[in-house]
Structure 1
Amino acid sequence: MLLKLVEYHWAEHIDDALLLLGRLDTKTVPLAGGTYLLGLKDDSIQAVVDLRDLELAYISDDARYLHIGSMTTLQTMAEAPLLKEFATGLLAHAALASSPSRLIRNSATIGGTLATGVASQADLWTALVALDAEAVVRSGSRTQVNLSGGTSERPGLALSGVVFKGKQERRLACSTLSLERRPAELIVEVAIPQPAPGCGTSFMRISQTPTDVALLNVAAMVEIVDGKYKRVRLAFGGVNMEPVRVQLIEQQLEGYAVVHPIDSERLQALLRAGLSTMRFPSDISVSSAYRRVCSVHLAAHALEEAINVAHWRSMVSSGAGKVG
């Protein structure tokens, strides 16, 4: 419970929310779904800003990106027809797996999941990292500008030290969001690059029971373009663990010519070599050694499935192109 909470703000405009979150005299935090925040025992939080009226719950796409508003709930993501098609349904699958409770999925948001980080225990974070997703963050800012008198060639009005209020917006990779995001920055959107037509994905997890938090999960994404593995992504996550990509394995697969689906034995050998130096964190419910042993088999199944789907989709898309 937030025992020291003295202010509750229902923001109607994003600028109002940013102004409140940027205060230095009162510790103010955003309230999204509330599934994590309202259970905190943090006596330093004095005010919350409810984000429900900011029109940040949407899913849309264009030629380059899929856009998901930060207030979009996990249940909406699990059910959205666009997400069931995008990247062969990876985001919809991961959103559904992130919580066994529909009640929680109806409240928890994608922005709140990313802002909470490891404590969210959400499988969705791993999938976003595998898809190279970026979080669009915004903050109110006070910018110092020096308008000097200019030069003899280009004279100007001398107004040094002018200060104005403005907004600052930037994109941060979901894989490094917890390190790079500043305290007063608000996550307003998640942008995911459009995958190639010949794209295959897979998401797998290990848990004590089907409804438990994942002890280890893995998300794989493979793109085949012009007969080659153009982009390969492999990310691991799990309980109290930040998602991590295995770039060594990704780099070894990217650029290879595709003749037929990769041999299972060769893939497992590649994974054993690539994961041999990886150090998984330990947790009270799972050891680093257990995660390391499981990682090879879990990644092999996920990559093999993603590769097979990518092969099939690339053949279908190339065939459609010839017909057209």
Structure 2
Amino acid sequence: MKNNIRQFCFPGSAKEAAALMNKLKGKAVVVAGGTRLSRALLPSVETVIDLADLPLKHVKADKKWLRIGALCSIAELEKSPLLAKWAGGVIAQAAGGWSNALARSMGTVGGNVSRAHPHNSLPPVFLALDAVVVCSDGRAEKVLPLAEILEPAMMRQIGTRYIVVEVCVPAATRTWSAALARLAITKTSWEAYTSCVVAVDRQDGSVRSARVVVGSVLPRATRMGKAEAVLEGKPCSEASARAAEAALCAELKELTGGAEAKAYACQVSGVLARRCLVQAFQG
């Protein structure tokens, strides 16, 4: 691949890396796992800022947060003992179901979140667990809900103005019951027809609150607010799951403008959501 790279930089901190990126602006590219760099590199890029050696590979929990460093590989999440027990192990499951083993060993949390292609597996599960993202512009850190990071205007600033430092999941979600499912050609296919993640906070056999997230169907992972509203305060039952399925299908049909090409994905999304909810209710 022909390029105009003149130098490689190895900053000692996220702050230093972000400051350098902002100084060089469009003439620099930030590299973590390198999966994106292997596919495309703009002619204007003369400097590669390599983040690989930064101390951002942690998976740890305190009283307020589960903290996942931006440089953790997807494979490391899959194998984490802490994540295997968090919210029914849904983060580890999402990591293990993403693409192939080579991609999982190279791809990072920061890249999967900040370049949130509709088929990436982590944005839906982090969105379902109310995650926030810590970013740095070299001067100060900024904490934003993941939903804001996924907005196109903000996403354009990741890798140009901000660097992702870590993803934080509220400690309260540790005991939530969660489940995920996806429909793809094969288990290791990166692209999927649809994917669904649900997370339920249960109390005395009823739904105190719920998160229902769909990936792949829309341009970015999206919470299904109508399905969540149907579930709130309802018993953890098959009937509640079916009501949420109907609400989700109606909402997705509206969001896709009733496009015929999306009709199958909308229908399957509802089925997956129902199955995930039944699993979460029983978990």
- Output the TM-score relative to the length of structure 1: 0.78
Aligned mates of 1:191, 1:68 — CA distance in 2: 6
1:4 alignment partner, SS class: coil
Q: Which residue is 1:205 aligned to? A: 182
Q: Does 1:5 align with 2:13?
A: no
1:217 alignment partner, SS class: strand
Question: By percentage of residues, which structure has more helix?
Answer: 2
Q: Which residue is 1:252 aligned to? A: 230
1:208 alignment partner, SS class: coil
Aligned pairs (5 A) from 1:82-161: 82-100=82-100, 102-118=101-117, 121-140=119-138
Task: Compute the displacement of 1:208 (Å).
Answer: 1.3
The answer (yes or no) to whether the contact 2:244–2:274 under 8 Å persists in 1 is no
Q: Which residue is 1:146 aligned to? A: none
Distance 1:41 1:50, change over 3 A: closer
Distance 1:197 1:186, change over 3 A: closer
Deviations 1:5-48 (A, max 9, x none): 22211112333212211125652221100012222142232222
Q: Which residue is 1:232 aligned to? A: 210
Q: Among 129, 132, 140, which residue is 1:168 paired with?
A: 140
Aligned mates of 1:277, 1:189 — CA distance in 2: 32
Aligned pairs (5 A) from 1:189-200: 189-195=166-172, 198-200=175-177
Distance 1:177 1:67, change over 3 A: same
2:196 alignment partner, SS class: strand
Distance 1:303 1:227, change over 3 A: closer
1:3 alignment partner, SS class: coil
2:56 alignment partner, SS class: coil
Alignment coverage as a number of residue pairs = 274
1:214 alignment partner, SS class: coil
Counterpart AA for 1:22 = N
Distance 1:232 1:51, change over 3 A: same
Task: Compute the displacement of 1:293 (Å).
Answer: 1.6
Q: Which residue is 2:195 aligned to? A: 217
Residue identity (%): 27
Aligned mates of 2:59, 2:134 — CA distance in 1: 14
Larger Rg: 1
Question: By percentage of residues, which structure has more strand?
Answer: 1
Counterpart AA for 1:129 = L
Aligned mates of 2:183, 2:65 — CA distance in 1: 30
- Output the TM-score relative to the length of structure 2: 0.88
Q: Structure 1: any 5+ residue segments left out of the alignment?
A: 141-166, 310-324
Aligned mates of 2:26, 2:267 — CA distance in 1: 47
Q: Structure 2: any 5+ residue segments left out of the alignment?
A: none
Aligned mates of 1:178, 1:196 — CA distance in 2: 21
The answer (yes or no) to whether the contact 1:241–1:281 under 8 Å persists in 2 is no
Aligned mates of 1:60, 1:266 — CA distance in 2: 35
Aligned mates of 2:201, 2:135 — CA distance in 1: 28
The answer (yes or no) to whether the contact 1:223–1:229 under 8 Å persists in 2 is yes
